[in-house]
């Protein structure tokens, strides 16, 4: 059977950007900015995204497009008979771990959309009542499990529809919708009385706040947000046609991912400041603090619905990219039909997700290396598998592949002038700088 490709340049961009823009932008980035000192964090983040992670993204995309294979097949094809296929094997399994806990939060977002639609956040609700509502919800058994199942099922539906008529079509409709939703909410938030302090917090850097913990949080976030090191960008890139400009698509992806993160922060932090609340609330910022704000601001009921809708759309476009890695592997390596492959991935991710979901309630005492199951999966992938995967992929491209092949793929056989000009620098970054910096930050994370 012939392999499917994305049908258009815009299709490639929305698929890559759809993977990148997700809970990481709307939920994780704003609370990290809030916790790590605002503009200073953003400043370090920009550096990591555009100087360090962009070449890593190029590397994944080069491997994917060059091989036109799934994450496992790619390494078998480009380095036959070597141990690199193990990196492929890990790259197939890690996204399934990520999607299992990602869909738990996706399920929370579905529940909160439902709550917003049924006007559960009222102007008489106090902050502690809304905090309690969230805690009661996530520690219960059935409601979060239902959300997790529904979210994963919706993701599976898009996957079953295929690369072009599922992933690409969904992204083409949903990414512009997402952009409009987030911009609308940001405008509402920034025009609240008192919101200006939030903007100052976001845009006026205090460089004295930059320390090792800020750097490592910013690097981890850059990896997570650009979906690096877990085979998703590689798999998507394997559906990119040979005449597309992969450097341009990757750069647009990083730029749009950053813009989304920034607009999401403008949607959230100015409102937090306008209400005199604490920006350092952490992971509860979106589910505890925002409902309080929505319930007390003009037009808040509608804004709440739009916000949770945006969160779900962003989460689904990312979770399909995670889900697709396993499906592509099963279809190409195990010769399964797309439907059966989707079912197998669904079942594995669903079972692992059940444990993650229950680890907030009945299984909260079960600890792996001192962490609850959810936190263990989250930390294992974001702090370990993603950076190690990213490190190995740049080593693969910089040291295992032939330089001529890398440059050939990056420049479409020398035919794209702009890419020819930067290819030497990009190759130098991939071969020397990226591995060293990722290794340094990774080790400092382990030991400090
Ligand atoms: N980039 C996504 C986000 O920011 O929410 C999360 C993600 C998707 C991570 C796909 C890793 C991945 F492979």
* Ranges of residues in the chain whose predicted pLDDT is under 70: 1, 447-448
Which residue among 21, 254, 311, 321 is best mutated to probe the pocket of ligand 1, counting the most ligand atoms within 8 A of its Cβ? 321
Please give the number of the atom of ligand 1 that sits closest to the Cα of 386.
11
Give the 3-state secondary structure of residue 108: helix
Q: What is the pLDDT of residue 447?
A: 65
Cα(64)–Cα(236) distance, integer angstroms: 7
Cα(127)–Cα(361) distance, integer angstroms: 22
Ligand 1 centroid–CA 315 distance in Å is 9
Q: What is the pLDDT of residue 181?
A: 93
CB 293 within 8 A of CB 30: no
| Closest to 122 (Cα-Cα) out of 304, 351, 350, 309 | 304
**Structure confidence by residue, pLDDT tens digits, 319-363:** 999 999 999 999 999 999 999 999 999 999 999 999 999 999 999
| The token pair that represents 168 in the structure block | 């690409």
402 CB-contact burial (10 Å; exposed 0-12 / middle 13-18 / buried 19+): exposed
| Whether the CB of 320 sits within 6 Å of ligand 1 | no
Give the 3-state secondary structure of residue 367: strand
| Closest to 215 (Cα-Cα) out of 40, 81, 83, 16 | 40
Token look-up 């961009």 returns 13
CA dihedral 387, 15, 343, 153 (to 10 degrees): 100
CB 320 within 8 A of CB 161: no
Cα(28)–Cα(238) distance, integer angstroms: 28
CB 297 within 8 A of CB 271: yes
The answer, as to whether pTM is greater than 0.85, is yes
Ligand 1 centroid–CA 299 distance in Å is 31
Question: Residue with the nearest Cα to atom 10 of ligand 1?
Answer: 227
Cite the DSSP H helix spans in 359-398: 373-379, 386-395
| The token pair that represents 267 in the structure block | 């949607």
**How crowded is the C-beta side of 447, counted as CA atoms within 13 Å?**
6
| Closest to 181 (Cα-Cα) out of 33, 15, 313 | 313
Question: Residue with the nearest Cα to atom 7 of ligand 1?
Answer: 227
All residues at 6 or more sequence positions from 15 whose CB lies less than 8 Å from its CB, including other chains: 6, 167, 168, 171, 236, 239, 321
Q: What is the pLDDT of residue 55?
A: 97
| Whether the CB of 232 sits within 6 Å of ligand 1 | yes
All residues at 6 or more sequence positions from 112 whose CB lies less than 8 Å from its CB, including other chains: 287, 291, 308, 311
413 Rama sector, left if φ>0, alpha if ψ -120 to 50, beta otherwise: left
């Amino acid at each position: 059977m012939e392999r499917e490709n994305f049908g258009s340049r815009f299709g490639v961009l929305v698929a890559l950007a759809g993977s990148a823009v997700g809970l990481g932008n709307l939920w994780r980035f704003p609370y990290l900015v809030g916790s790590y000192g605002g503009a200073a964090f953003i400043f370090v983040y920009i550096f990591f995204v555009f100087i360090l992670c962009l070449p890593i993204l190029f590397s994944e995309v080069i491997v994917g497009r060059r091989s036109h294979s799934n994450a496992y097949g790619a390494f078998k094809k480009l380095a036959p008979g070597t141990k690199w296929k193990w990196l492929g094997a890990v790259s197939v399994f890690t996204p399934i771990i990520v999607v299992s806990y990602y869909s738990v939060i996706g399920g929370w977002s579905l529940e909160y959309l439902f709550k917003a639609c049924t006007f559960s956040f009222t102007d008489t609700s106090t902050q502690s009542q809304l905090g309690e509502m969230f805690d009661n919800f996530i520690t219960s058994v059935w409601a979060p499990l239902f959300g997790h199942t529904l979210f994963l099922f919706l993701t599976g539906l898009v996957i079953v529809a295929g690369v072009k008529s599922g992933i690409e079509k969904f992204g083409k409709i949903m990414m512009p919708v997402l952009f409009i939703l987030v911009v609308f909410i940001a405008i509402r938030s920034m025009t609240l009385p008192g919101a200006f302090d939030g903007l100052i917090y976001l845009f006026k850097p205090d460089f004295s706040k930059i320390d090792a913990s800020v750097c490592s949080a910013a690097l981890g976030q850059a990896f997570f947000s650009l979906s690096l090191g877990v085979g998703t960008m590689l798999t998507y890139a394997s559906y990119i046609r040979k005449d597309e400009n992969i450097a341009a698509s990757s750069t647009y992806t990083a730029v749009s991912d950053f813009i989304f993160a920034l607009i999401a922060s403008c949607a959230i932090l100015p409102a937090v400041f306008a209400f005199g609340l604490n920006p350092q609330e952490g992971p509860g910022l979106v589910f505890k603090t925002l409902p309080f704000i929505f319930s007390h601001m003009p037009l808040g009921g509608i804004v709440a619905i739009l916000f949770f809708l945006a969160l779900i759309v962003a989460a689904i476009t990312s979770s399909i990219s995670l889900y697709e890695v396993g499906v592509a592997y099963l279809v190409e390596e195990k010769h399964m039909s797309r439907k059966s492959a989707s079912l197998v991935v669904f079942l594995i991710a669903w079972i692992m997700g059940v444990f993650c979901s229950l680890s907030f309630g009945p299984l909260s005492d079960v600890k792996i290396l001192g962490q609850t199951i959810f936190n263990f999966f989250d930390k294992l992938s974001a702090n370990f598998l993603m950076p190690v995967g990213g490190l190995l992929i740049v080593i693969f491209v910089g040291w295992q592949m032939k330089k001529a092949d890398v440059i050939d793929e990056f420049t479409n056989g020398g035919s794209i002038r702009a890419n020819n000009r930067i290819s030497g620098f990009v190759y130098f970054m991939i071969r020397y700088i990226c591995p060293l910096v990722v290794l340094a930050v990774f080790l400092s994370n382990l030991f400090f």
